[in-house]
């Protein structure tokens, strides 16, 4: 049986350990000299006990936005469409239509796969498997049968102090057939 004295002692012990954890954690976060004292100890403590890292620039990113446009029969280009945003908008207008959310996720994933293929292959993206998959998926709803060419655009938001700007990561055009 646990006595009230034991509970009280355990409570103070846990409170003491928690206080030490908070003080050491704050010291390691705020003091650059803390790293110099014992590199192995502070490295292990930062890895095992501290949450984060928070706000490291290389860890902060914005996901890209994928757009598609098709060349119409009259020779003009259709307006760019964002499949992911359109699917999310469909979900907003008919709740519990989880298929729209799944389709938005698929569009996002395919856009990221296309971006990865573009980074790897640079100029040879038209022959990539990622583009072939993306084209087959978009053919169902976004690319009409009579489309001659398809233009794909991948944008990324660039955040600065108080503003947000869109930066074109890549854009390319290929024959639809």
Q: Within this chain, do residues 26 and 83 fall inside the same structural domain, yes or no? A: no
For the chain, the domain total comes to 2
Q: What is the pLDDT of residue 135?
A: 81
Q: Within this chain, do residues 65 and 143 fall inside the same structural domain, yes or no? A: yes
Q: Within this chain, do residues 88 and 158 fall inside the same structural domain, yes or no? A: yes
Summarize pLDDT for 116-170 with one digit per residue, the tens.
887 777 666 767 777 788 888 888 888 888 888 889 888 887 776 667 777 778 8
Confidence of residue 56 (pLDDT cuts 50, 70, 90): low
Q: Within this chain, do residues 20 and 90 fall inside the same structural domain, yes or no? A: no
Q: What is the pLDDT of residue 36?
A: 61
Q: What is the pLDDT of residue 17?
A: 92
Between residues 39 and 89, which one has the greater pLDDT?
89
Q: Within this chain, do residues 83 and 68 fall inside the same structural domain, yes or no? A: yes
Q: Within this chain, do residues 92 and 72 fall inside the same structural domain, yes or no? A: yes
**Residue 84 structural domain:** 61-175
Q: Within this chain, do residues 85 and 157 fall inside the same structural domain, yes or no? A: yes
Q: Within this chain, do residues 53 and 14 fall inside the same structural domain, yes or no? A: yes
Q: Give, in order, the Cα–Cα distances in Å from 61 to each of 67, 123, 158.
A: 19, 25, 9
Question: With 70 as the cut, is the pLDDT of residue 55 above it?
Answer: no
Range with top average pLDDT, 27-36, 108-117, 158-167: 108-117
Q: Within this chain, do residues 47 and 75 fall inside the same structural domain, yes or no? A: no
Among 16, 33, 57, the domain boundary falls at 57
Among 24, 42, 57, the domain boundary falls at 57
How much is the mean pLDDT over the chain? 80
Residue 64 is inside which H or E element, if any? strand 64-70
Among 15, 35, 57, the domain boundary falls at 57
Q: Which of 62-71, 87-96, 102-111, 122-131 shows the lowest mean pLDDT across its residues?
A: 122-131
Q: Within this chain, do residues 84 and 110 fall inside the same structural domain, yes or no? A: yes
Distance, in Å, from the CA atom of 23 to the CA atom of 37, rounded to the nearest integer, reads 16
Distance, in Å, from the CA atom of 85 to the CA atom of 93, rounded to the nearest integer, reads 13
Q: What is the mean pLDDT of residues 13-31?
A: 83
Q: Within this chain, do residues 53 and 76 fall inside the same structural domain, yes or no? A: no
Distance, in Å, from the CA atom of 173 to the CA atom of 126, rounded to the nearest integer, reads 9
Question: With 80 as the cut, is the pLDDT of residue 59 above it?
Answer: no
Which distant-in-sequence residues (6+ apart) come within 8 Å of 93 by Cβ? none
Q: What is the pLDDT of residue 63?
A: 77
Between residues 50 and 59, which one has the greater pLDDT?
50
Question: With 80 as the cut, is the pLDDT of residue 8 above it?
Answer: yes
Q: Within this chain, do residues 39 and 112 fall inside the same structural domain, yes or no? A: no
């Amino acid at each position: 049986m646990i006595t009230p004295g034991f509970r009280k002692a355990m409570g103070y012990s846990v409170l003491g350990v928690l206080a030490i954890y908070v003080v050491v954690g704050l010291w390691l976060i705020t003091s650059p000299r803390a790293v110099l004292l014992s590199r192995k100890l502070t490295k292990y403590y930062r890895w095992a006990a501290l949450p984060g890292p928070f706000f490291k620039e290389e860890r902060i990113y914005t996901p890209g936005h994928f757009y598609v446009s098709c060349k119409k029969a009259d020779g003009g280009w259709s307006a760019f469409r964002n499949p992911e945003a359109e699917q999310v908008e469909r979900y907003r207008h008919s709740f519990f239509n989880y298929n729209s959310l799944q389709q938005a996720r698929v569009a996002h994933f395919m856009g990221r796969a296309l971006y990865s293929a573009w980074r790897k292959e640079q100029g040879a993206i038209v022959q990539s498997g990622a583009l072939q998959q993306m084209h087959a998926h978009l053919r169902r709803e976004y690319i009409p049968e009579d489309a001659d060419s398809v233009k794909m655009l991948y944008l990324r938001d660039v955040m600065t102090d108080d503003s947000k700007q869109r930066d074109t990561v890549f854009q390319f055009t290929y024959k639809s057939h």
